[in-house]
Amino acid sequence: RMIKRQMQCRSDLGRLNAPFLAIYESLIPAEEEKAKQKQLLTLLERLVCTEWPKARLYLYGSCANSFGVSKSDIDVCLAIEDMDVNKSEILLRLADIFQSDNLQNVQALTRARVPIVKLMDPVTGLSCDICINNVLAVVNTKLLRDYAHIDARLRQLAFIVKHWAKSRGVNETYQGTLSSYAYVIMCIHFLQQRRPAILPCLQEMETTFSVTVEGVECAFFDQIEKLRDFGSCNNETISQLVWAFFNYWAYRHDYANSVISIRTGNVISKQGKDWTRRVGNDRHLICIEDPFQVSHDLGRVVDKYSIKVLREEFERAADIMQYDPNPCGKLFEPY
Ligand code: CTP
Ligand code: MG
């Protein structure tokens, strides 16, 4: 398989830039969606502050990391110091408050891995998940957003990869495939590895931003305006990058030995992390290191069945990018 795939990319990739960019543009949320998100956040802040005046709400996830496509749900984190009451009680109390203000489909999921309250706001039509004190998610949201502002090709690639993953049914963590967060990290890693590099490794640079959250030091360079030209020595276009991204995950990544790590800007060894065997439910069949919680493998949800599905999808995408005269149609075909 490796031999068959020492692929040279097709020579007509250039004409595919326009269709990929058109798909990217069609996924960008309209300005009015941003306004609606703000409106809902303001309402929630007002409601929450009646009960906990010192609490603060933060947006995280795709509505704040700049990888959100049109019509995404919004993710909100409630930061609250008063933790004498436990999370479940706070979530149930929140649910009560929201319910009595006519928010719809209010549900407290107190037993989930990340406990949340879900709701739908009939005024803006937006759905929203609220979690408590998940500050690491707020910080990794900033890291992703900072990366997005260094080179426009990251956002283009990530939108296309997320759109592909959703179309092909491989963006379902409860079915053993990968989260959107994991796909964005894969895109960042990939652009750090291009030669010349398209993205730097912010965590290996001088620290200009630093917070310690739950005992984890999160430090990186965040003066992004100084990095505006970082990728300008590399003139690869979106169609070349989409081709190379799928080729990498289909035929070049060493699943048996390698962990991708945007923290180091490199591939590191599974051996070094002791991720070579199954421990509990973590099988480490595709290894994606979380940038801050470095003991977290974002691929831990992948099992022996879903790894097959995932790798077949990468190969399918790589082959379409290599051989299909009109890849945009086939690539995003519903599964
Ligand atoms: N997150 C995390 N660790 C994970 C998964 C998610 O910290 N293993 C946090 C990240 O801050 C991420 C947020 O939860 O940005 C939302 O995750 P996810 O739903 O996967 O990504 P979104 O960017 O919100 O994507 P989508 O548009 O599909 O909702
Ligand atoms: Mg989300």
pLDDT digits (tens, 9 = 90+) for 14-36: 999 999 999 999 999 999 999 99
Q: Is 80 helix (H, G, I), strand (E, B) or coil?
A: coil
In ligand 1, the atom with minimum distance to the C-alpha of 67 is: 23
The model's pLDDT over 261-298, given as tens digits with 9 standing for 90+, comes to 999 999 999 999 999 999 998 999 999 999 999 999 99
Report the predicted TM-score, pTM, of the whole model to 2 decimal places.
0.96
Which protein residue has the closest C-alpha to ligand 1 atom 22?
A: 62
Cis peptide before 196 (omega within 30 of 0): yes
Helix (H) or strand (E) holding 107: strand 104-109
Ligand nearest to the CA of 299: 1
- Per-residue pLDDT band for 4 (boundaries 50, 70, 90) equals low
The model's pLDDT over 227-267, given as tens digits with 9 standing for 90+, comes to 999 999 999 999 999 999 999 999 999 999 999 999 999 99
The model's pLDDT over 67-108, given as tens digits with 9 standing for 90+, comes to 999 989 999 999 998 767 789 999 999 999 999 999 999 999
Decide: 242 and 160 in contact? Cβ < 8 Å. yes
Dist. CA 89 → ligand 1 center (Å): 24
Q: Tokens for 56?
A: 């603060």
Q: Which residue's structure tokens are 């309209």?
A: 30
Which protein residue has the closest C-alpha to ligand 1 atom 2?
A: 137
Dist. CA 200 → ligand 2 center (Å): 25
Q: Is 137 in the pocket of ligand 1 (CB under 6 A)?
A: yes
State phi, psi for 122 to the nearest 5 degrees. Answer: -65, -20
Q: Is 62 in the pocket of ligand 1 (CB under 6 A)?
A: yes
What is the average per-residue pLDDT within 98-126?
96
Which protein residue has the closest C-alpha to ligand 1 atom 6?
A: 181
Q: Tokens for 214?
A: 């739950």
The model's pLDDT over 132-185, given as tens digits with 9 standing for 90+, comes to 999 999 999 999 999 999 999 999 999 999 999 999 999 999 999 999 999 999
The contacts of residue 274 (CB under 8 Å, 6+ apart) are none
CB-count exposure of residue 44 (10 Å: 0-12, 13-18, 19+): buried
Give dist(CA 68, CA 13) in Å, integer: 26
Q: Is 293 in the pocket of ligand 1 (CB under 6 A)?
A: no
Ligand nearest to the CA of 158: 1
Q: Is 58 in the pocket of ligand 1 (CB under 6 A)?
A: no
Ligand nearest to the CA of 179: 1
Ligand nearest to the CA of 298: 1
Of 194, 199, 203, 159, the closest CA to residue 180 belongs to 159
Q: Is 60 in the pocket of ligand 1 (CB under 6 A)?
A: yes
Beta-carbon count within 10 A of 178 CB: 22
The contacts of residue 292 (CB under 8 Å, 6+ apart) are 136, 139, 140, 143, 213, 216, 218, 263
State phi, psi for 119 to the nearest 5 degrees. Answer: -160, 165
Dist. CA 137 → ligand 1 center (Å): 8
Q: Which residue's structure tokens are 């082959």?
A: 319
303 vs 5, more confident? 303
Q: What pLDDT shows up at residue 100?
A: 96
